[in-house]
Structure 1
Amino acid sequence: MGKLMLTNLPVFLRIGLFSVILAVLGIIYFSFKNNGKGCLLSNNKEKNKKEITKEKKKTLTLNVVQPIPLDVKNPSQIVPITNCNKIIPVFYKNPIDFKGLSKKERKEKFIAYMLPQILIVNHEIEENRRIVLRIKKKFEEGKEITENEERFLNNLLKKYKVKSVNELLSRLNTNPPSLVLAQAIAETGWGTSRFYLEGRNAFGITAIRKKGNTIKMKGANIYLRKYKYVINSIRDYYYSINVSWAFKKFRKVRLTTKNPLELSRHLTLYSTLRRIYIKRIKKILRENSLDKFDKCRIDPSFIREMNYE
């Protein structure tokens, strides 16, 4: 049988066959083109999905104080306060006995010892509050929060025993440094009390029962908490103020004012001395002009950005 040659076919068949070939090629071309587009759209979807996931897992950055731990033996080694706007964030690893000092020097040294540590804790709370306010603003604007922001918020809600952001903000707050100083002065007798020296407890924080690290009050079945560092007692003081039912009115007033004298009126339940305690705190505030320390700030050079993990 001879080979089939197109030239041997009639003209009308050659035209028909050519049309079929063109049609097949057209189908192949458009099929490939559509498939290509499909892949491109699919790839874009995957890319968008990855970008959304990346946004969801975006790093949460906190401004964290880098404290300087010091193990000092006597008051002369305490870092003095020379610039209220640039307080060096020292945290002292051990309590200092201020008994042997003159009244004037004892006051000066005790404030220099306590103030940096109070400001460190204040910064921790204020930074957490700043992040929560930012998250709240996102909610109000209908924006999606990241996974890290959600985890950060949930951890604080759990810690402060609340269910809403507004409740959290009423608790996640700081006191004027002057008021914290005044209470530390009253509770430790300017750094001379047994509970401060033996238990590193600067705020007379009691324990419900003899459990864990405690120190017993002489002549009474009362136990006070014992801490590894004085700064830990500052954190615990704040937790008590910010969570306990006894200071609900205090927290409400604190949202409207940071006046230490006004706030002190609402600390009646802090001590069994009740009104006598309030008068004592006010006297300490006035006689030592402690409100001047409310403007003090941590030296910014000791503050670093850190990722929340």
Structure 2
Amino acid sequence: MTKNQKILLLTLLLCGTFLISACERSAFSWPAPETATIATITPTNHRELSNYLTVNDYRWETLDQGVPPFLLTALPKDIQRIKDITERKRLFFLSLLPSVLLANREITLQRQQLLIALRHHQAGLPLSIPQQQLLSRLIKDYRLRNNPLTDLNARKALLQRLDTLPPDLVLAQAANESGYGTSRFCRLGNNLFGQWTYATGTGLVPKERSAKQRHEVQRFATLYDSVRSYMNNLNAHRAYRSLRTIRAQKRTRGQALRGIDLAAGLRLYSSRRDAYVAEIRAIIRSNRLSRLATISLRPAAAEADALRTASL
């Protein structure tokens, strides 16, 4: 592992550290980046956000040049005032795509480091302290009962869970669950995917919740926290085992991951079952989100000029 890889791993691990304090509102936290390559922006209105994208030459038409690596703290409160639905969708999708790609990058790097640790163990080499810490975190985050170093089934389960999700699927679900960023839970709690919590007093109480119910809709410090928590949910919860099976089969066959295909594993995400899956697929198709399958982040060097606008 090169020096640069070690630095990048350390940065991602520190940024993605699981916070267990009772006062924290999300399972994952990505603090304001310390590096000079990822901008964190907090626009006060949708025009400021749109201007930021324009300054960075970031449009549907320029996706082949890469996506600028920035993190949006929260969607502008006035996004629902955008009358042009096409424009509202454009702003929603393009603003969230960097967070999705950054979350996938973190998962990819963790997977690479896990494979290195497994090879070291199989070769009889002791794991370094960072490797031990990473392994402990993954066991907890991905809900494993046994140690993947010594249990083959646990190892297979972790490798099947620790994998990326196609951007078109993530964005389609975010659009569906948040009403393209206009839902109460998104506006007040940065919750893009309607995830619940049973920690009383930490979330938002649904207006339609019955007197017997105790769940709340989880609050997140940032939109990235919401994306990362959602990915962990799909990657670890037993309800989405079929999604992970489909993904693993695609990997084995060397096929690309497509949201249209993986959506079949979302039947249990909603009580609407097959109708929900059809709705997610319709969003992917109608917005041509499948074009995002091969899109990547811009090289860090290309973002030097973009940082001057990071103080929104």
Same fold (TM > 0.5): yes
CA shift in 2, pair 1:302/1:173, >3 Å? farther
**How far off is 1:160 after superposition?**
1.7
Is 2:81 the partner of 1:100? yes
Q: Aligned match of 1:214 in 199, 203, 206? A: 203
**How far off is 1:270 after superposition?**
0.8
Residue 166 of structure 1 is matched in structure 2 by 156
Could you tell me whether the CA contact under 8 Å between 2:258 and 2:293 is conserved in 1?
no
Residue 127 of structure 2 is matched in structure 1 by 145
What amino acid is the match of 1:89? P
**How far off is 1:126 after superposition?**
1.1
Could you tell me whether the CA contact under 8 Å between 2:241 and 2:265 is conserved in 1?
no
Could you tell me whether the CA contact under 8 Å between 2:88 and 2:180 is conserved in 1?
yes
Could you tell me whether the CA contact under 8 Å between 1:89 and 1:302 is conserved in 2?
no
What amino acid is the match of 2:285? R
Is 2:107 the partner of 1:125? yes
Is 2:269 the partner of 1:279? no
TM-score normalized by structure 2? 0.72
CA shift in 2, pair 1:99/1:148, >3 Å? closer
What amino acid is the match of 1:150? Q
- For structure 2, the 5+ residue unaligned runs are 13-34, 149-154, 251-256, 303-312
Work out the CA distance in 2 between the residues paired with 1:150 and 1:193. Answer: 41
**How far off is 1:262 after superposition?**
1.1
Work out the CA distance in 2 between the residues paired with 1:226 and 1:244. Answer: 19
Moved more, 170-179 or 91-100: 91-100
Work out the CA distance in 1 between the residues paired with 2:163 and 2:247. Answer: 8
Residue 189 of structure 1 is matched in structure 2 by 179
Work out the CA distance in 1 between the residues paired with 2:6 and 2:95. Answer: 33
Could you tell me whether the CA contact under 8 Å between 1:68 and 1:90 is conserved in 2?
yes
Backbone CA RMSD of aligned residues? 2.2
Is 2:61 the partner of 1:62? no
Deviations 1:204-249 (A, max 9, x none): 1112x35242111113235211112111111110121111111112
**How far off is 1:155 after superposition?**
2.5
Deviations 1:142-198 (A, max 9, x none): 544333323322332233222323321111111100100000010111111111111
Could you tell me whether the CA contact under 8 Å between 2:193 and 2:230 is conserved in 1?
yes
Secondary structure of 1:69's aligned partner: strand
Is 2:191 the partner of 1:201? yes
Count residues in correspondence. Answer: 244
What amino acid is the match of 1:87? V
CA shift in 2, pair 1:211/1:302, >3 Å? farther
**How far off is 1:114 after superposition?**
0.9
More strand by share: 1
Could you tell me whether the CA contact under 8 Å between 2:103 and 2:228 is conserved in 1?
yes
1:1-309 matched pairs, under 5 angstroms: 60-63=6-9, 64=11, 66=35, 67-78=38-49, 79-80=52-53, 81-82=58-59, 83-84=62-63, 85-96=65-76, 97-101=78-82, 102-162=84-144, 163-164=147-148, 165-207=155-197, 209=198, 211-221=200-210, 222-257=215-250, 258-301=257-300
What amino acid is the match of 1:74? N
Deviations 1:26-52 (A, max 9, x none): xxxxxxxxxxxxxxxxxxxxxxxxxxx
Work out the CA distance in 2 between the residues paired with 1:247 and 1:93. Answer: 28
**How far off is 1:70 after superposition?**
0.8
Percent identical: 27
Could you tell me whether the CA contact under 8 Å between 2:168 and 2:258 is conserved in 1?
no
Could you tell me whether the CA contact under 8 Å between 1:203 and 1:233 is conserved in 2?
yes
Secondary structure of 2:293's aligned partner: helix
Could you tell me whether the CA contact under 8 Å between 1:86 and 1:296 is conserved in 2?
yes
What amino acid is the match of 1:72? P
Could you tell me whether the CA contact under 8 Å between 1:178 and 1:290 is conserved in 2?
yes
**How far off is 1:60 after superposition?**
4.5
